[in-house]
Amino acid sequence: MLETFTIGISLGCVYGLVALGVSLIYRTTGVLSFAQGAFVMIGGMVGAWLADDLGAPLGIALLGGVAAGALSGFVLAVAIVIPLWKRGASPFMVILGTLVFLVISENLVLNQLGSQPRAVRAITPGWKLHVAGQAIESQVLWVLLATVLVGGALYVLLMRSRFGAAMRACAIDQQTSRLLGVSPTRVALAVFALTAAIGALVGLLIAPIQFSAYTAANAYGIKGFLAAVIGGLGDVRGAVIGGLIVGLSEAFIGVYVSSTYLDLILLGMLLAVLLLRPRGVLPGTKVVAAR
């Protein structure tokens, strides 16, 4: 039971951080991005490549993976999202653009780094926490710590900084924010890079527990989106709650119900939430699409 709970919490934190990126982008720019899973995959694969193929120290590999994720998010915004905005594209076309970016990322990683799964070395290998006769891997604790620190840092950024005030202004009314001297385009660039860096960090932290591969983008993207919807799309608090719900559900359903029908049951949960609480466990934030 404790082992299943621990697995569920660690998965929940991962999905919650991915969902946090989805919700933060949607809250600030009105864009529903399906590319967040790509950043998780890019972070894990680039970090493993730096450590294994180039022999870089773990710290350099972690920083390189996060930097690669942030750069990918910046490219997504500059090459796809913002040009579509300027051409007056519909929200559906912007969503399609993020999906195209996801497919391109998968193919680039496949061609450059190969199809074999890769793992990043654990931060504190060999160390375990023993609770009630069960051993908890130290990497799980690093995932928990990262979730708390990232969540806290984002709260301070949103509520206590000038950039956070600009993000909130864009979320409320982007036309008015322009009149106040806040550029929604610059805010979007920063938000895409920031959320992509968070996604890459997730990929690096979970890679010692679960192998990373080019196919991981879809899995993390879908579960993260599911968590964002359950938590209330656009609500950064609900994103973490939704992630924990999805992670714990996945762990307990897989162990005690059926691993065969796991995804089907999770999608059934999503439909139930959409029917009973369409705004999620916590009410989401009203957003408008940037132009």
CATH class of 2-122+138-276: mainly alpha
Pair 269, 229: CB distance under 8 Å: no
Angle (CA) 55-18-283 rounded to 5° is 165
Instruction: State the pLDDT at residue 173.
Output: 67
Higher pLDDT, 196 or 127: 196
**pLDDT tens digits along 154-177:** 888 887 888 777 777 776 666 767
Report which residue type is found at 31. Answer: V
**pLDDT tens digits along 89-115:** 888 899 999 999 999 999 999 999 888
Instruction: State the pLDDT at residue 281.
Output: 65
How far apart are alpha carbons 229 and 277 in whole angstroms? 10
Range of lowest pLDDT (93-97, 131-135, 214-218, 222-226): 131-135
Higher pLDDT, 36 or 3: 36
Of the spans 33-47, 118-132, 253-267, which averages the highest pLDDT?
A: 33-47
Checking if the pLDDT of 283 tops 60, the result is: no
How far apart are alpha carbons 243 and 205 in whole angstroms? 16
Residues 6+ apart with CB under 8 A from 141: 129
